[in-house]
Amino acid sequence: MTAQLIDGNALSRQLRTEVSERVSALKAKGLTPGLAVILVGENPASQVYVRNKVKACEDTGMHSVLEKYDASMSEAELLARVEALNSDPTIHGILVQLPLPAHMDAQKVIEAISPAKDVDGFHIASAGALMTGMAGFWPCTPYGCMKMLESIGYDLKGKHAVVIGRSNIVGKPMALMLLQQNATVTICHSATPDLKAMTLQADVIVAAVGKRNVLTADMVKPGAVVLDVGMNRNEAGKLCGDVDFDGVKEVASWITPVPGGVGPMTITMLMVNTLESAERALAV
């Protein structure tokens, strides 16, 4: 058997078209959604991601501001920039690109962002909203994974979902979103003694570790749905995920590729959150 592809580029195009239409409707009411992206330092991967985010804004008709600062910027200066954007009425979403330089406390900077503009969904208020089912912003990567499952008409009710990885940005929020859709959820991590015994029971597997070949074909139940959140490079410098794609695609029913899978969906959900924030601002 060969799995069908969940195409993150195609789904992103479709969702971004819907976003563009809602952006036009807001503009007709006199409001242009705006995203501010702050990049501190010269991390080459971050430069690429940030450029993609700004381009996605332009493509959907949103306003965007990219603020680039030297790695020597002080934490106090960054906090002052965040404060200024919090009170800027043309900005509905604020994203501080991670990782930040080592002399900064990333969580402290995130907590300085107004929860109303926390389109990354990293603020403790956003995490609390997700946990309790209140209105807030969902972190973009797991949110994109949920949209991918929705796109294939997958009903999570009564299914067993196994999440590999427990980060605040992907693993933990992913588990909560799957739980909200009535899946039985298992979170596996570096201290899980027998990962394969867990994944073999899974109807849905989300691999979010940041290490190649965490999931191989022998670990997957035939017909399972596999979502690959990994962003790694192989020896040849080629982008690859956490899943041994060539092996697992022979066992799974659906699988996301890397590149062209969860990555573009992350950016799409950032657009969705920013639009949503602007719509909420208008509703006030």
Which spans of this chain sit near ligand GUE (rule: CB under 6 A)? 48-49, 52, 95-98, 120, 140, 231, 239, 258-260, 263-264, 266-267
165 annotated ligand binder: yes
Looking at the Cβ atoms of 199 and 273, the one nearer to ligand GUE is 273
Residue 162 host element (H or E): strand 160-164
Q: Whole-angstrom Cα distance, residue 175 to residue 161?
A: 8
166 annotated ligand binder: yes
Looking at the Cβ atoms of 120 and 203, the one nearer to ligand GUE is 120
Q: How far is the CB of 29 from ligand GUE (least distance, A)?
A: 28
167 annotated ligand binder: yes
Looking at the Cβ atoms of 183 and 240, the one nearer to ligand GUE is 240
Active-site option among 118, 120, 203, 228: 120
Handedness of CA 231, 161, 225, 245 (dihedral sign): positive
List residues bridging with 164 in a β-sheet. Answer: 188, 207
Looking at the Cβ atoms of 225 and 269, the one nearer to ligand GUE is 269
Q: How far is the CB of 48 from ligand GUE (least distance, A)?
A: 5
Number of helical (H) and strand (E) elements in the chain, helices listed first: 10, 11
Q: How far is the CB of 193 from ligand GUE (least distance, A)?
A: 30
Q: How far is the CB of 93 from ligand GUE (least distance, A)?
A: 11
Q: Whole-angstrom Cα distance, residue 253 to residue 139?
A: 26
The yes-or-no answer on residue 120 being catalytic is yes
DSSP H stretches of helix in the chain: 8-28, 44-59, 75-86, 106-112, 124-132, 140-151, 171-180, 195-199, 245-248, 262-283
User: Which two structure tokens, joined as six digits, stand for 236?
Assistant: 């040849």
Instruction: Point out the annotated binding site.
Output: 165-167
Catalytically annotated residues: 53, 97, 120
